[in-house]
Amino acid sequence: MSRIASAFDHGKAFVAFITCGDPDLETTNRAVHAAVKNGADLIELGIPFSDPTAEGPVIQEANLRALQGGVTTDRIFAFVQELRKDIGVPMVFMTYANVVFSYGAEKFISACARIGIDGLILPDLPFEEKEEFLPLCRQYGVDLISLIAPTSQKRVAMIAREAEGFIYLISSLGVTGTRSEITTDLAPIIRTIRENTGVPVAIGFGISSPEQARRMAALSDGAIVGSAIEKILAKSGRNAPEEIGLFVRSMKAALEELNGNQHEKTE
């Protein structure tokens, strides 16, 4: 069983996305520790890329700050290897196919396995082209995380049947970013996913408040939050980790209310 499954085996999971190197890796280290200490069940680490097509302005700017600060893929690998010494929760990388190609796919994926990365999310990799990376991911025990969008339609069942680790369900059309409300009817998509796989489903894109996190996690197995965390980093820089910890605690508390309700129903 994938180590990622452990993030979802005790109730609704909170997934925190943090861009590596924004504003520097020392701050990333403290932000990850603060997130985990305050209840994050899985950490999604962004490897900066110069053209992050799936990202809105907040994470685009985080990528730019990190790159301007001199972060590289090799420095991120070394950083995660150190991080793994005292962070036990599952961790995945989110980056772009070009980053993996330019580094060398086998070199990149084998390094992920060596440093303790459990999964890889490539938002610009079409489902039909995943064979570029899937055999290597399986060889080295790194889950290639599938994304499903509201536009996936007839492909949802197909993607779900072959999913590994967890499914990243995109809440809304467009790019990442906080949204005042999420209006997409995700229930039918989740129903189709449930009919085709037992792999957990976490919803991301646009979640910025405990109420939104609770509503999305009530439909699924967890909530993914990125832009709201990156906004804290943009505002507070090196002073952000403590604030991130408080934010994660509030989000996790909202999810734990759901876990408590579920527990009561089963008694």
* Structural domains of the chain, ranges and CATH numbers in brackets: 3-266 (3.20.20.70)
Nearest to 19, CA basis, from 91, 85, 93: 93
Q: Count of residues for the chain?
A: 267
Q: Where are the beta strands (DSSP E) in the chain?
A: 13-19, 42-46, 91-94, 119-121, 143-148, 167-170, 201-204, 222-225
Look up the pTM and report it.
0.92
DSSP structure class, residue 50: S
- How do the pLDDT tens digits run along the chain, 267 residues long? 578 999 999 899 999 999 999 999 999 999 999 999 999 999 999 999 887 665 678 888 998 999 999 999 999 999 999 999 999 999 999 999 999 999 999 999 999 999 999 999 999 999 999 999 999 999 999 999 999 998 888 899 999 999 999 999 998 654 444 434 555 689 999 999 999 999 999 999 889 999 999 999 999 999 999 999 999 999 999 999 999 999 999 999 999 998 775 433 333
Residue 192 has a CB neighbour count (10 Å cut-off) of: 18
222-225 and 201-204 beta bridge pairing: parallel
Rounded to whole angstroms, the Cα distance separating 173 from 153 reads: 13
User: Which amino acid is it at 210?
Assistant: P
**Tokens linked to 86:** 């005292």
